[in-house]
C-alpha cells in the first residue's frame, strides 16, 4: 500500500461517544467498563467517552444522559492500562471547566469540534487543552458543506491555535471517496500537523472513504465497533482493520479480539441493528447531521410527518449541529401545511 505519510496510524474508537446517540445517551458505568476494558486489551489507541454531543451535552435540547458523563469517563480511565481515554468538546456546549474536570479524571486527548466554517470559536478551548497537557485535535464537522478552500482556511486557523491535528469530519456521511481524497490532500499540502478523518456510513462508503483518507496521508482515524454511531453508524472498526490488514497495513490492534468485542459485548447494547435504513440513507443523500435522525423520527411521529421530508427540508436549509430546535419547527410547518391542504 502506497501511503502519503510515514507516520503511524492512530485509531480512535468512538462507540462510547458517537454510539451514545444510538442509545439515547443512556449508557451506564456497567456498560462502559467492559467495553473499555476489552478495547484496551485489544490494543486500541484511543477510546472516546462522553455524551454524543460532547462534554456538557446532557441537556433537554441534545438529550439527557442517564449517568453523568464524568462518571463514565472515570470508569473508562480506571479500566484502561494502555489506551488513552479521549473526549469531544463543542465550544458553546462544553466548557473549559468541564474539560478540566475530564482531564483531572484522566482523559488524555480532546477533539475540539466546530462547524466547518466556525473554527474561530475553538481558540480558547484549544489553548486551554494544550496548557493542560492534553493531546489536542481540531474537528471540522459537516465537512461536505464548505468548498475545499474554506476547509483549508479553517484548518489553518485550528493549527494556529495549537491543534496537533485537524480532522475532516463527515458528520452527515455525505462525502464520496473522491471528495474525501480532495479534502485530505488539500489539508496535507497546507498543514504542518497531522490530518484525520471521521466518517459515517449513511451512503455505505464509510470504509471506502476512510481507506481513501489513509491513502492520501490521514493518520488520525475514527472507527466504531459494530458500526455503533449516529445515523447508519461510523466506519466499522473491525471491518476497517480487516481491510487494512488485507492491504498490508498493520496498526497494532488485534483483529480477532475486535471481532469478539463487536459480537459479544457491543452488539447486545444496540437497541436496533445498525443498518442503512430509509432515514439514515436520507441523511447522507440530503447532507444532514447524523444525530438529527432520532430527533426527526420523534418529530415525525408527533406531527404525523414522514421523517424523510423533515430531513430533506433540513438539508435544503443547510441545518447544522446545534439547530436541533429547527427539526420541530419544520415538522410543525409541514403539519400546518397539510391541514391547510385538507381544508382547501
Report whether 27 belongs to an annotated binding site. no
Of 21, 25, 45, 51, the catalytic one is 21
Report whether 51 belongs to an annotated binding site. no
Report whether 46 belongs to an annotated binding site. no
Report whether 224 belongs to an annotated binding site. no
- Label each residue of 66-129 as H, E or C: CCCHHHHHHHHHHHCCCCEEEEEECECCECHHHHHHHHHHCCCEEEEEEECCCHHHHHHHHHHH
Report whether 200 belongs to an annotated binding site. yes
Segments of the chain assigned E as strands = 10-13, 46-48, 84-89, 109-115, 135-141, 165-169, 194-198, 220-223
Report whether 171 belongs to an annotated binding site. yes
Cell numbers linked to 235: 466506519
Among 162, 158, 182, 159, which residue's Cα sits nearest to residue 170?
Answer: 182
Report phi then psi at 170, rounded to 5.
-90, 70
Half-sphere exposure of 116 (CA within 13 A, CB side): 23
21 catalytic per annotation: yes
Binding residues for substrate: 17-18, 171, 198, 289
Binding residues for Mn(2+): 18, 198, 200
Binding residues: 17-18, 171, 198, 200, 289
Q: Which of the residues are catalytic?
A: 21
Amino acid at each position: 500500500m502506497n501511503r502519503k505519510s510515514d507516520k503511524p496510524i492512530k485509531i480512535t474508537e468512538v462507540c462510547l461517544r458517537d454510539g451514545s446517540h444510538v442509545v439515547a445517551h443512556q449508557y451506564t458505568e456497567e456498560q462502559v467498563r467492559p467495553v473499555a476494558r476489552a478495547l484496551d486489551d485489544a490494543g486500541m489507541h484511543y477510546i472516546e467517552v462522553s455524551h454524543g454531543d460532547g462534554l456538557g451535552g446532557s441537556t433537554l435540547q441534545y438529550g439527557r444522559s442517564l449517568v453523568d458523563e464524568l462518571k463514565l469517563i472515570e470508569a473508562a480511565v480506571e479500566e484502561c492500562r494502555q489506551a488513552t481515554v479521549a473526549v469531544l468538546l463543542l465550544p458553546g456546549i462544553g466548557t473549559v471547566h468541564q474539560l478540566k474536570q475530564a482531564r483531572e479524571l484522566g482523559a488524555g486527548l480532546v477533539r475540539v469540534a466546530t462547524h466547518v466554517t466556525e473554527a474561530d470559536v475553538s481558540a480558547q478551548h484549544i489553548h486551554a487543552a494544550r496548557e493542560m497537557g492534553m493531546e489536542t485535535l481540531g474537528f471540522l464537522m459537516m465537512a461536505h458543506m464548505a468548498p475545499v478552500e474554506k476547509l483549508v482556511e479553517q484548518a489553518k486557523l485550528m493549527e494556529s491555535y495549537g491543534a496537533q491535528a485537524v480532522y475532516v469530519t463527515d458528520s452527515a456521511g455525505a462525502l464520496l471517496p473522491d471528495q474525501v481524497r480532495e479534502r485530505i490532500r488539500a489539508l496535507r499540502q497546507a498543514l504542518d500537523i497531522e490530518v484525520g478523518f471521521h466518517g459515517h456510513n449513511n451512503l455505505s462508503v464509510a470504509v471506502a472513504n476512510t481507506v481513501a483518507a489513509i491513502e492520501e496521508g490521514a493518520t488520525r482515524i475514527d472507527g466504531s465497533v459494530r458500526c455503533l454511531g449516529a445515523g447508519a453508524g461510523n466506519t466499522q472498526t473491525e471491518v476497517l482493520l480487516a481491510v487494512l490488514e488485507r492491504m498490508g497495513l498493520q496498526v497494532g490492534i488485534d483483529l480477532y479480539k475486535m471481532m469478539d468485542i463487536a459480537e459479544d459485548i457491543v452488539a447486545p447494547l444496540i437497541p436496533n441493528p445498525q443498518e442503512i435504513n430509509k432515514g439514515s440513507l436520507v441523511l447522507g443523500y440530503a447532507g444532514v447531521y447524523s444525530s438529527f435522525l432520532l430527533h426527526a423520527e420523534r418529530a415525525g411521529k408527533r406531527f404525523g410527518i414522514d421523517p424523510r421530508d423533515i430531513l430533506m427540508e433540513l438539508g435544503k436549509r443547510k441545518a447544522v449541529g446545534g439547530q436541533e430546535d429547527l427539526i420541530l419547527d419544520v415538522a410543525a410547518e409541514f403539519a400546518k401545511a397539510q391541514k391547510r391542504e385538507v381544508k382547501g
